[in-house]
Amino acid sequence: MKTNENKTWKRKLGYVGFALTAFGLSFFLAYSLNYYPLGYNTVGMKMVNEDHTALTLEKNNAYGMAEKTVVYEPPEEDQWKVNMLVDLVNDQSIHYWVFFTSIFAALYWVVVDVKKGESVRKTILYSSLGVALTGLSLMNQLYDIKDILS
């Protein structure tokens, strides 16, 4: 009886330890390294005049490296879009954090379930659903940024 309880606690502590590691590593990627594949980084804002602001962004490629610089100067009646764009670019960090965490969790679940004897196909299918949902949320955020820029 005592051995089964110890195994259960070890397994639960292993899950908690992995979750903390996944959150920490994802946080490091998203916030400390600013690793945003296909994302945007704010380079700077420039006041053109009292009522007119220009925003400079860097668009990243699939590897997270700066690909090109985009300058956004909206018409005077759309100046509110500059603040909205800055908020969207700053908020993409949390979307990447959740996305990276879901990837690490999916990889962990695949390894654990395959070790238990589950079907590899079924395990990959189920674990990829969480990644797909967080990926859709991330893509929606990136499309909103792209929509304002166009």
The pLDDT value recorded for residue 20 is 92
Domain that holds residue 104: 2-149
- The count of structural domains within the chain is 1
Q: Find out whether 36 and 64 touch, Cβ atoms under 8 Å.
A: yes
Q: Which two tokens stand for residue 44?
A: 């700077």
Q: Find out whether 72 and 57 touch, Cβ atoms under 8 Å.
A: yes
The helices-and-strands tally (H runs, E runs) of the chain is 3, 3
Q: For residues 92 and 67, what is the distance between their CA atoms, to the nearest angstrom?
A: 18
- pLDDT at 139 exceeding the cut of 90: yes
Give 106-133 pLDDT, tens digit per residue.
999 899 889 888 888 999 998 899 899 9
Region 137-144: mean pLDDT is 94
The pLDDT value recorded for residue 1 is 53
Give 70-105 pLDDT, tens digit per residue.
999 888 888 888 889 999 999 999 999 999 999 999
Q: Find out whether 72 and 101 touch, Cβ atoms under 8 Å.
A: no
Q: Which two tokens stand for residue 59?
A: 């668009």
Give 9-66 pLDDT, tens digit per residue.
888 898 888 889 999 999 999 998 889 999 999 888 888 777 778 899 999 998 889 8
**Beta strand 66-72 with 52-60: parallel, antiparallel or unpaired?**
antiparallel
